[in-house]
A and B are shown apart, each in its own frame.
Chain A
Amino acid sequence: MIALSGVTIHQGAFSLCDVSFDVAEGQYAVLMGRTGSGKTTLLEAICGLRRVAQGSIRLMGRDVTRLRPAARGVGYVPQDGGMFSRLTVREHLGFALAIRRWPRHAIQRRVDELAERLGLEHLLDRRPYGLSGGEVQRVALGRALAMRPGVLLLDEPLSALDEDTRAEMHDLLRAVQHETRVTVLHVTHNRSEACRLADLVLELRDGQVQPSGTPPGRCANAEPPCGDSFARKVRYHEG
């Protein structure tokens, strides 16, 4: 689970004040908001890449507010993939495991498993240069999932993909989340993406995170914003 309470972050002239929300274990949450609303900043704070001035961040029941990024057990997929240009796809997938000094055969088994699940077998010996947008995102996803994190943080991973690849990635993300039961926080500004993926849609507006859409009481009667599946998927923050 991901639980933020009263989180305040200052970044130059920009600040997020007193942000609170909960994502239950195994949920797929989508955080929406306009460009510049602070979505990425919030995600970076959860990763431990940005200092939190006040408040607390709990991941999988553990207070991680003061922990360094390495100790938080999060998988992070940035918008551009954040590829390591000198490493092969195989080394990307095994990176977190090699850091944890897993035995070589165990790394190889896990890398093969991930490559098969994400359709990367034919790319294992390639370097990131020349990979397509979708391939980069699949490598980044595999790299983040390798150590089986409890929380997966995705920062607009699909924004640079074409329509077809994006649809494939939606299915893949959903399937992977279903299999691993990882808690996901996915940042996007694309509403249809939120509809297709989310168990819970959160909206960051004016420095505050609120459940998006219509209030729970009116959900059944209201016109669903994106068809029936949306009404079924959107559930609200009850903490």
Chain B
Amino acid sequence: MSPEAHSPRPAQAPAPDLGPQLGARDSRLFDALFVGRLATVLGVYLALIAGLLVALGSFTSPSDLARATQSEEIRYAFWLSLETCTLATILSLWIAVPSGYLLSRFQVPRPRRRWSWRDGGSWLAYFLQNLLDALLDIPIVLPPLVIGLALLILFQTSLGKAVERVHPVTFDVPAVILAQFTVACAFAVRTMRVTFDQISPRSEQVALTLGCSRRQAFWLVVFPEARRGLVTAATLSWARSLGEFGPILVFAGATRMRTEVLPTTVFLELSVGNIEAAAAVSLIMVAAALAVLLLTRAFGLRGTGLI
């Protein structure tokens, strides 16, 4: 008899049944497959965007591009687009920062009890807040043409006419800016609201105990932390303004050398069958948009560790 027979090792005790076990090799393969599938989905969308650019490029030639950049009308439209988009963006941020902060910090919670006359006040406040939220989304959900039409009618009222007497708006450059601002601002407000929602109110509260007024706490503590959101809101508003066409056509018209922005140029060139020029202007828009968005990100996020 071998000596081992007298001292059975505890390891020989039957292992408890743990059911089917995870295979390490399988799970690594599945993880790789999962990431691969995500990349495929992204790839499909990237291919579509690349396809659009290639299609535009294939329909135009360097000589078309050169002709487009030399055309006085297109140059005017290019600079007007850049100027109006920038102004609309500044106006949007000017409205969106305080509005987003207000909406984020002064939220009415849903009343915990069911509706009763006694809690009528808190239910009314909650309802009004939801109504306000929906109203702020109207420029996003309305068809662009409707916004243009509404702006046109607004400036036919006595209030609008009073403004027109001070400075002409309809079918003039201010109409372009106002049309771009109306839609871009809604996006900026949404973005800033989410930004402030994500900034914990805690540091602001500490600032209040340290002697700050609410205004000081906002400018010294909250606003600097909102920089990333501010850059996002700015790029979103600018990009949205650059692509705006419907309300501009209705409210500002499509007068060459006056209210013509780049999308208007594309429309005008298309309407006379000059597809090559339309494609060339579209490519210029793509290049301008890419340059501005990249520059904004580079300068806006410098020092934040995000780029």
* Chain A residues with a Cβ under 8 A of chain B: 12-13, 44, 47-49, 68-70, 72, 74-76, 78, 80, 82-87, 95-96, 99-100, 129, 140, 143-144, 147
A129: B residues at CB distance < 8 A: 305
Q: Is the CB of B211 within 8 A of A70?
A: yes
Q: Which range contains the number of B residues in contact with the other chain?
A: 20 to 34
Which residue of chain A lies nearest to B210 when distances are taken between CB atoms in the complex? A96
Contact indicator B210/A99 (Cβ below 8 Å): yes
Other than the given A80-B202, A84-B203, 10 more pairs (CB < 8 A) read A48-B209, A68-B208, A70-B210, A75-B209, A76-B209, A84-B225, A85-B225, A86-B224, A86-B227, A99-B211
Q: Is the interface of B mostly helix, strand, loop or mixed?
A: helix
- Binary interface encoding of chain B residues 288-307 relative to chain A, with 1 for a CB under 8 A from any of its CBs, else 0: 00000000000000000100
Q: Nearest Cβ in chain A — how far from B275, in angstroms? A: 50
User: Which residue on A lies nearest to B221, using beta carbons?
Assistant: A84
- Asked if B205 contacts A147 (CB within 8 A), the reply is no
Q: Is A12 within 8 A of B209, CB to CB? A: no
B216 in the interface (beta carbon within 8 A) = yes
Q: A86-B224, A86-B225 are in contact. Are A95 and B203 (CB under 8 A)?
A: no
Instruction: Given A99-B211, A143-B210, decide whether A49 and B112 contact each other with a Cβ distance below 8 A.
Output: no
- List residues of chain B with CB within 8 A of the CB of A82: 200, 202-203, 205-206
Some 18 contacts from A to B, beta carbons below 8 A apart, are A49-B208, A49-B209, A69-B209, A70-B208, A70-B212, A72-B209, A74-B209, A76-B206, A76-B210, A82-B206, A84-B207, A84-B221, A95-B207, A96-B210, A96-B211, A99-B211, A147-B210, A147-B211
| Residue from A12, A69, A72, A96 within 8 A of B205 (CB atoms) | A69
Name which residue of chain A comes closest to B199, CB basis: A85
C-alpha gap A74/B206 in the complex (Å): 10
Q: How far is the CA of A82 from the CA of B225 in the complex (A)?
A: 12
Decide: B112 and A12 in contact? CB cutoff 8 A: yes
Shortest beta-carbon distance, A52 to chain B, in Å? 16
Instruction: Tell me if B213 counts as interface (CB < 8 A to partner A).
Output: yes
Q: Which residues of B contact A12 (CB under 8 A)?
A: 109, 112
B209-A95 in contact (CB<8A): no
- Is B209's CB under 8 angstroms from A13's CB? no
Report the Cα distance A147→B203, complex, angstroms.
18
Could you tell me the distance between the alpha carbons of A84 and B222 in the complex, rounded to whole angstroms? 8
**Contact in complex: A78, B202 (CB < 8 Å):** yes
CB distance from B119 to the nearest CB of A (A): 12
Name the residue on B nearest A69 (C-beta).
Answer: B208
Q: Report chain A residues within 8 Å CB of B221.
A: 84
CB distance from B118 to the nearest CB of A (A): 15
Q: How far is the CB of B231 from chain A (nearest CB, A)?
A: 14
Q: Give the residue name and chain of the B residue nearest to A50 (CB).
A: B205
With A and B bound together, what is the CA distance between A72 and B213 in angstroms? Answer: 13
The answer for the CA separation of A85 and B205 in the assembled complex, in Å, is 14
Report the Cα distance A48→B213, complex, angstroms. 13
State whether A99 touches B216 (Cβ < 8 A).
yes
A-side contacts of B207, CB under 8 Å: 84, 95
In the complex, which residues of chain A have a beta carbon less than 8 angstroms from the beta carbon of B109? Answer: 12
Residues on the B chain within 8 Å of A72, using CB? 209
Question: Would you call B206 and A78 a contact (CB within 8 A)?
Answer: yes
Partner of B209, one of A47, A86, A100: A47
Closest to B303 in A: A86
In the complex, chain B residues 201-257 whose Cβ is within 8 Å of any chain A Cβ:
202-203, 205-213, 216, 220-221, 224-225, 227
A80 / chain B contacts, CB cutoff of 8 Å: 200, 202
Specify which chain A residues have a CB less than 8 angstroms from the CB of B224 in the assembled complex: 84-87
Which of B209, B211, B212: most chain A CB closer than 10 A?
B209
Given contact pairs A12-B109, A13-B112, A78 touches B210 in the complex (Cβ within 8 A): no
In whole angstroms, how far apart are the Cα atoms of A147 and B211 in the complex? 10
B42 to chain A, nearest CB (A): 29
Q: Tell me, in angstroms, the Cα distance from A57 to B261 when the chains sit together.
A: 63
Closest to A78 in B: B202
Question: Chain B residues with Cβ under 8 A from A86's Cβ?
Answer: 224-225, 227
Beta-carbon contact of A70 and B213 below 8 Å: yes
Query: Which of A72, A83, A95 counts the most chain B CB atoms within 10 A?
Result: A95
In Å, the complex CA distance between A87 and B200 comes to: 16
Min CB distance, B22 to chain A, in Å? 32
A99 pairs with B209, CB closer than 8 A: no
* B212 CB to nearest chain A CB (Å): 6
List residues of chain A with CB within 8 A of the CB of B208.
47-49, 68-70
Alpha-carbon distance between A129 and B212 when the two chains are bound, in angstroms? 23
Cα–Cα, bound, A12→B221 (Å): 28
Q: How far is the CA of A220 from the CA of B305 in the complex (A)?
A: 58
Give A156 to B208 CA distance when docked, in angstroms.
19
From A46, which residue of chain B is reached at the shortest CB distance?
B209
Q: Within the assembled complex, what's the spacing in Å between the Cα atoms of A61 and B4? A: 82
